Structure 1
Amino acid sequence: MSSFIPLVSGANEALVPALNRIGPVILSSQSSGPLATPDHAYLLVESRDAVDLSALINWLDAGVEKLILPLASFADAIGSIPAERLVLLLDVANVSAVSDKVRNGVSGVLLKTPSLDLDFISSISKFFTGSSIHVLSTSNEPPTVANVRQLRGIGATLVIPEAQLTLESSSSTQINVADAYLAPVISDRPDGLFPTIVSSQTGHSLGLVYSSKESVKESITTGRGVYQSRKHGLWRKGETSGATQEIINIRLDCDSDSLEFRVVQHGAGFCHLNRQSCFDAASGLPALEKTLASRLESAPEGSYTRRLFNDADLLRSKIMEEADELCRAETREEVAFEAADLLLLCSHQSLDLKAKRISRRPGNAKPRWTQKQEVAPPPAPKLDGPIKMNTYDLTQASPEERAQLLRRPVLKSDEMIGKVKPIVDEVRKRGDTALLEFTAKFDRAQLSSTVMFPPYAPETMQLPEEIKSAIDVAYSNIHKFHAAQTSDSTLVVETMPGVVCSRFARPIARVGLYVPGGTAILPSTALMLGIPAQVAGCKQIVLATPPRKDGSISPEVMYVAHLVGASAILKAGGAQAVAAMAYGTETVPKVDKIFGPGNQWVTAAKMLVQNDTDALVSIDMPAGPSEVLVIADYTANPAFVAADLLSQAEHGVDSQVVLVAVDLKADHLAAIEEEVEKQALALERVDIIRQSIPKSNIVKVATVEEAVDFSNDYAPEHLILHLEQAKEQLPRIENAGSVFVGAYTPESCGDYASGTNHTLPTNGYARQFSGVNTLSFQKHITSQEISAPGLGNVGPVVVTLADCEGLQAHANAVRVRLATLQK
Structure 2
Amino acid sequence: MLTLSSPVLPLLDAPDVKAELLAVIGRAAPLLIPSSLVSSLSAEKLSLLSSYLVQADASISSSQAADLLDGGADAIVLSANDASTFLDGEQPLLPLERVVLSLDSTTAASLPAYAEKGLAGVIVTLPEGVAIESSQAGDIVGSFASVMKTKDTGRPVYVAQQGAAAPTPKTSDAARLFSLQSSLIVPTSQLSLDSSRLDFVDAFLSPLQSDRKDGLFPTNVVAAALLTSLGLVYSSRESLRESLLTGSAVYQSRTRGLWRKGASSGATQEVVRIRMDCDADALEFKVRQRKGTTSAAHAGFCHQSTKESCFGPLEGLAKLEATLKSRKESAPKGSYTARIFSDEALLAAKIREEATELVDAKDEDKEHVAFEAADLLYFALARCVRAGVSLEDVERSLDVKAKKVTRRKGDAKPQFTTAPGAAQKADAAGAKPVNGTTAAAPPAAVAASSDPNAPILMQSYIYEDLSTEQRAALLKRPAIKTEATMELVRPILKSVKERGDAAVLELTAKFDRAQLTSTVRRAPYATPDVMAKIKPEVKTAIDRAYANIYKFHHAQKVTGGNKPASAVGASGVAPGTGEGEDDAVLEVETMPGVVCRRFARPIQRVGLYVPGGTAVLPSTALMLGIPAQIAGCPTIVLATPPRPDGSIAPEVLYVADKVGATALLCAGGAQAVGAMAYGTESCPKVDKIFGPGNQFVTAAKMLVQNDVDALVSIDMPAGPSEVLVIADEQSNPDFVASDLLSQAEHGPDSQVVLVGIALTKAKLQAIEASLDKQAKALPRCEIVRRAIEKSVTVVVPDAAKALEWSNAYAPEHLILQCSNPEVIAKGVLNAGSVFIGPWTPESVGDYASGSNHSLPTFGYARQFSGVSTGSFQKHITAQSLTEEGLKGLGPHVVALAECEGLEAHAEAVRIRLAQLKGGK
Q: TM-score, normalised by structure 2?
A: 0.53
CA positional deviation for 1:437: 1.2
CA positional deviation for 1:519: 6.1
Change (3 A) 1:790 1:672: same
CA positional deviation for 1:731: 2.1
* Partner AA of 1:405 in structure 2: L
Stretch of structure 1 that moved more, 705-714 or 412-421 = 412-421
d(CA) in 2 for partners of 1:510, 1:575: 19
Residue aligning to 2:396: 340
d(CA) in 2 for partners of 1:190, 1:745: 73
Matches within 5 A, 1:39-188: none
The match for 1:714 among 794, 809, 831 is: 809
* Partner AA of 1:668 in structure 2: K
Q: Is the 8 A contact 1:322 1:338 kept in 2?
A: no
Q: Is the 8 A contact 1:329 1:338 kept in 2?
A: no
**1:445 correspondence with 2:514:** yes
CA positional deviation for 1:487: 1.4
**1:626 correspondence with 2:695:** no
* Partner AA of 1:689 in structure 2: V
Residue aligning to 2:632: 537
Bigger-Rg structure (1/2): 1
CA positional deviation for 1:688: 1.1
What whole-Å deviation, never above 9, does each CA across 1:104-127 have from its counterpart, x for those lacking one?
xxxxxxxxxxxxxxxxxxxxxxxx
d(CA) in 1 for partners of 2:395, 2:487: 13
Change (3 A) 1:202 1:538: farther
**1:475 correspondence with 2:537:** no
CA positional deviation for 1:341: 2.1
The match for 1:766 among 838, 861, 873 is: 861
Change (3 A) 1:479 1:203: farther
Change (3 A) 1:706 1:581: same
**1:572 correspondence with 2:667:** yes
Residue aligning to 1:416: 485
d(CA) in 2 for partners of 1:533, 1:815: 45
CA positional deviation for 1:322: 12
Q: Is the 8 A contact 2:397 2:484 kept in 1?
A: no
Matches within 5 A, 1:548-563: 548-563=643-658
Residue aligning to 2:903: 808
Q: Is the 8 A contact 1:326 1:338 kept in 2?
A: no
Percent sequence identity is: 54
CA positional deviation for 1:151: 9.8
What whole-Å deviation, never above 9, does each CA across 1:563-587 have from its counterpart, x for those lacking one?
1111111111111110011001111
CA positional deviation for 1:435: 0.7
* Partner AA of 1:403 in structure 2: A
CA positional deviation for 1:330: 9.9
Q: Is the 8 A contact 1:195 1:208 kept in 2?
A: no
The match for 1:546 among 624, 641, 657 is: 641
2:839 aligns to what SS in structure 1?
coil
Residue aligning to 2:566: none
* Partner AA of 1:663 in structure 2: A
1:822 aligns to what SS in structure 2?
helix
**1:822 correspondence with 2:878:** no
Q: Is the 8 A contact 1:326 1:339 kept in 2?
A: no
Q: What is the alpha-carbon root mean square deviation over aligned residues?
A: 4.4
1:784 aligns to what SS in structure 2?
strand
1:392 aligns to what SS in structure 2?
strand
When the two structures are aligned, how many residues end up with a matched partner?
Answer: 541
Q: Is the 8 A contact 2:614 2:643 kept in 1?
A: no
Q: Is the 8 A contact 1:799 1:814 kept in 2?
A: yes
d(CA) in 2 for partners of 1:509, 1:446: 31
Q: Is the 8 A contact 1:655 1:692 kept in 2?
A: yes
What whole-Å deviation, never above 9, does each CA across 1:452-483 have from its counterpart, x for those lacking one?
11122321233111110011000000000000
What whole-Å deviation, never above 9, does each CA across 1:159-198 have from its counterpart, x for those lacking one?
9999xx99xxxxxxxxxxxxxx9xxx999x9967786999
Change (3 A) 1:796 1:466: same
CA positional deviation for 1:20: 13
Residue aligning to 1:458: 528
* Partner AA of 2:557 in structure 1: T
Q: Is the 8 A contact 1:544 1:572 kept in 2?
A: yes
d(CA) in 1 for partners of 2:654, 2:450: 38
CA positional deviation for 1:696: 0.9
d(CA) in 2 for partners of 1:717, 1:419: 28
CA positional deviation for 1:443: 1.0
2:661 aligns to what SS in structure 1?
coil
Residue aligning to 1:741: 836
1:484 aligns to what SS in structure 2?
helix
CA positional deviation for 1:339: 3.2
2:697 aligns to what SS in structure 1?
helix
Change (3 A) 1:379 1:792: farther
Residue aligning to 1:675: 770
What whole-Å deviation, never above 9, does each CA across 1:711-770 have from its counterpart, x for those lacking one?
111110000011211101222111100001111111111111110000000000000100
Matches within 5 A, 1:181-260: 207=187
* Partner AA of 2:530 in structure 1: T
What whole-Å deviation, never above 9, does each CA across 1:31-70 have from its counterpart, x for those lacking one?
xx999899999xxxxxxxxxxxxxxxxxxxxxxxxxxxxx
**1:484 correspondence with 2:555:** yes
Stretch of structure 1 that moved more, 809-818 or 330-339 = 330-339
Q: Is the 8 A contact 1:383 1:687 kept in 2?
A: no
Change (3 A) 1:36 1:750: closer
d(CA) in 2 for partners of 1:711, 1:406: 9
d(CA) in 2 for partners of 1:159, 1:812: 61
CA positional deviation for 1:22: 10
1:427 aligns to what SS in structure 2?
helix
CA positional deviation for 1:665: 0.3
* Partner AA of 2:737 in structure 1: A
Residue aligning to 2:459: 390
Q: Is the 8 A contact 2:676 2:686 kept in 1?
A: yes
What whole-Å deviation, never above 9, does each CA across 1:479-511 have from its counterpart, x for those lacking one?
000000111231011111100001111111111
Q: Is the 8 A contact 2:623 2:853 kept in 1?
A: yes
Residue aligning to 1:586: 681
Change (3 A) 1:35 1:769: closer
Residue aligning to 1:401: 470
d(CA) in 1 for partners of 2:870, 2:513: 37
2:689 aligns to what SS in structure 1?
strand
CA positional deviation for 1:703: 0.8
Q: Is the 8 A contact 1:596 1:620 kept in 2?
A: yes
Q: Is the 8 A contact 2:607 2:689 kept in 1?
A: yes
* Partner AA of 1:460 in structure 2: V
Q: Is the 8 A contact 1:450 1:570 kept in 2?
A: yes
Change (3 A) 1:761 1:518: farther
* Partner AA of 1:418 in structure 2: E
Change (3 A) 1:160 1:333: closer
Q: Structure 2 stretches of 5 or more lacking a match?
A: 5-99, 106-112, 122-130, 148-156, 191-203, 208-270, 275-372, 405-445, 560-583
What whole-Å deviation, never above 9, does each CA across 1:332-356 have from its counterpart, x for those lacking one?
98354233124336689xxxxxxxx
The match for 1:428 among 471, 487, 497 is: 497
* Partner AA of 2:531 in structure 1: M
Q: Is the 8 A contact 2:852 2:866 kept in 1?
A: yes
What whole-Å deviation, never above 9, does each CA across 1:634-660 have from its counterpart, x for those lacking one?
111001100110111111111111000
d(CA) in 2 for partners of 1:379, 1:451: 47
Change (3 A) 1:634 1:537: same
Q: Is the 8 A contact 2:625 2:656 kept in 1?
A: yes
1:707 aligns to what SS in structure 2?
helix
What whole-Å deviation, never above 9, does each CA across 1:356-415 have from its counterpart, x for those lacking one?
xxxxxxxxxxxxxxxxxxxxxx99962421100111222221121111111111011233
Change (3 A) 1:394 1:206: farther
Residue aligning to 2:749: 654
1:344 aligns to what SS in structure 2?
helix
* Partner AA of 1:343 in structure 2: D
